Amino acid sequence: MVNADELARLNVERHGAIRVGTAQELATLRRMFAIMGMYPVSYYDLSQAGVPVHSTAFRPIDDASLARNPFRVFYLLTPP
């Protein structure tokens, strides 16, 4: 976290969350966030913990974009 300057961003980053139920909804979100310069980072497979949820966060990935837009949105894909 120190090397990536993530500690300094903790005070300014804002978070949101969106729950989707299908892979098609997730694909739509991915395209929408790409238009805004936000891309998936990290991946969480919570089914390993007995929770049927897959998750990632969309956020800008380069330093200049992160400085301008310190917002990230988590998505949760839950099965129907």
Q: Which residue has the higher pLDDT, 67 or 27?
A: 27
* Predicted TM-score (pTM) of this structure: 0.70
Give me the chain's average pLDDT, please: 83
The 10s digit of each residue's pLDDT in 29-58 is 999 999 989 999 989 898 889 988 889 999
Domain chopping of the chain, boundaries: 6-77
Strand, helix or coil at 33?
A: helix
Proportion of the chain above pLDDT 90, given as a percent: 30
User: Residue 8: is its pLDDT beyond 80?
Assistant: no
Look at residues 45, 36, 46, 47 and name the one whose alpha carbon lies nearest to residue 73: 36
Give 69's pLDDT tier (boundaries 50, 70, 90). Answer: confident
Under 8 Å between Cβ of 17 and 66 = no
Q: Please state, in angstroms and rounded to a whole number, the distance separating the CA atoms of residues 58 and 33.
A: 7
